[in-house]
Amino acid sequence: NLQDKLDRAFKVLKGQGNITEINVAETMKEIRKALLDADVNYKTAKSFTDEVRTKALGQNVLSSVSPGQLLTKIMNDELTELMGGSVTELEITKSPTIILIAGLNGAGKTTFSGKLANFLRENKGKKPLLVAGDVYRPAAIDQLEVLGKQVDVPVYVDRNSEDPIAIAVAGVAHAKQNGNNVVIIDTAGRLAIDEALMTEITAVKQATQPHEILFVVDSMTGQDAVNTAKAFNDRLDFTGVVLTKLDGDTRGGAALSIKSVVNKPIKFIGTGEKMEALDVFHPDRMASRILGMGDVVSLVERAQQQFDEKQAAELQKKIRKNKFDFNDFKSQIGQIKKMGNMKDLMGMIPGVGKAIKDIEIEDDAFKPIEAIIDSMTPYERENPDVIDPKRRLRIAKGSGTNIDEVNKLMKQFGDMRKVMKQMSNPGMMAKMMRNMP
């Protein structure tokens, strides 16, 4: 299954210190294969892995997580984004709000109609009306009536009519007369997409002007689900997707592909035959499902936090021993850039935030600073005190800056170090407190 495949893909990364061009390329190839096997279509899988690769490269791997776990986290975030990021609610403001249900035979339209009526009545305090628009099979009308009774929602039927358009229109009128504020129109499907079906459903749309058109699709049909979604969307321009039969171990790959091919939000998922087996679609949960690694994601998040704390503690120790060097300085700049806020970062160093709150560092000021630090030798970075005028000149040349800039940085760094040392020295703090009036 996908889990095993991803495990295998991540093995390539195991034991590697950080994510590099080479190990990520190998892993992405495996992941792409795994996604294809999970019903994600080729184009989606490719653009997805490309995006993840870009995000993954250059990421530091934390001490307590493996590159594979970190990559999983990145993938999870990216998948969530691809599937819409957050929950998209139904638009139910008009009274009555008209909801048209469309899809192939057996997709789960009638079942979903019942579930939706139940959901809106129970959870949203609405007064829905179901409309039986599948006139071709008498059993279909019976089925909707049974479901309506089950969820305690009225069903509009006209057994004498063979005109689904007229029935839909009459259903809406019936709702207005009877104070129903939502109308759910169940429609007939076909075994495959055909012109007659499309013409009929388009006519129902025209006649009823629905506020929502929900396309219902069986998630077990894999790539066919994507093609069907595209065909329906081209004709109907639907407002949302309902993925059914996601109970059991159905793979969620179709969700990803459908969203990226038709670019319409998935609004609900069906997870069983019972009327309660309906969930609002959560992109983040589906991402975890596709990856099958919900636990890993939270583990990575936790590790990230611990890493930050650990780093802050180590930094504090270094400051106390006056060992804060240019490596620390540079990694702090990296952090600042990541967080986008100097003050936040300084707030992480206990006792220091206040002292340096007046030191201004602008965003574009980082570039020459980083260049200067990069031009130092590792020995110089660890031992800033050895950087004499001769070395400064060399560093200025190597970094494409000038001696004034290097001198300025050295001075700033020295000041910063002094302040940090003072503020983090408990003895000093006590002395200062005693001297206060």
Q: Count the neighbouring beta carbons within 10 Å of the beta carbon of residue 106.
A: 14
The answer to whether 110 contacts ligand GDP (rule: CB under 6 A) is: yes
The least distance separating ligand GDP from the CB of residue 196, rounded to whole angstroms, comes to 16
Rg of the chain over all Cα atoms, to the nearest angstrom: 31
Tokens of 133: 């628009």
The answer to whether 103 contacts ligand GDP (rule: CB under 6 A) is: yes
Which are the contacts of 274, defined by CB distance < 8 A and separation ≥ 6?
none
The answer to whether 109 contacts ligand GDP (rule: CB under 6 A) is: yes
Cis peptide before 96 (omega within 30 of 0): yes
Measured from the CB atom, the residue of 27 and 111 that comes closer to ligand GDP is 111
The least distance separating ligand GDP from the CB of residue 290, rounded to whole angstroms, comes to 18
Nearest-angstrom CA–CA distance, 430 and 181: 70
The answer to whether 164 contacts ligand GDP (rule: CB under 6 A) is: no
Which are the contacts of 58, defined by CB distance < 8 A and separation ≥ 6?
19
Binding mask 265-284 for ligand GDP (x = CB under 6 A): -----xxxx---x-------
C-alpha dihedral, 224 to 230 to 234 to 237, nearest 10°: 110
Nearest-angstrom CA–CA distance, 361 and 374: 18
Measured from the CB atom, the residue of 154 and 270 that comes closer to ligand GDP is 270
Decide which of Mg ion, ligand GDP, none touches 103; Cβ closer than 5 to 8 Å per partner kind. ligand GDP
Q: Count the neighbouring beta carbons within 10 Å of the beta carbon of residue 427.
A: 7
* Site size with ligand GDP, rule: CB under 6 A: 17
Measured from the CB atom, the residue of 186 and 325 that comes closer to Mg ion is 186
Which residue's CB comes closest to ligand GDP?
270
Decide which of ligand GDP, Mg ion, none touches 370; Cβ closer than 5 to 8 Å per partner kind. none
Which are the contacts of 297, defined by CB distance < 8 A and separation ≥ 6?
72, 73, 76, 288, 291
Residue numbers at the binding site for Mg ion (CB under 5 A): 109-110, 140
Tokens of 222: 């894999």
Measured from the CB atom, the residue of 149 and 343 that comes closer to ligand GDP is 149
Per the annotation, does 46 bind a ligand?
A: no
The answer to whether 190 contacts ligand GDP (rule: CB under 6 A) is: no
Measured from the CB atom, the residue of 213 and 297 that comes closer to ligand GDP is 213
Nearest-angstrom CA–CA distance, 46 and 395: 43
Per the annotation, does 246 bind a ligand?
A: yes
Tokens of 158: 């006209």
- Could you list the residues that contact ligand GDP (CB under 6 A)? 103, 105-111, 189, 244-245, 247, 270-273, 277
| Binding-site residue positions for GTP | 103-110, 186-190, 244-247
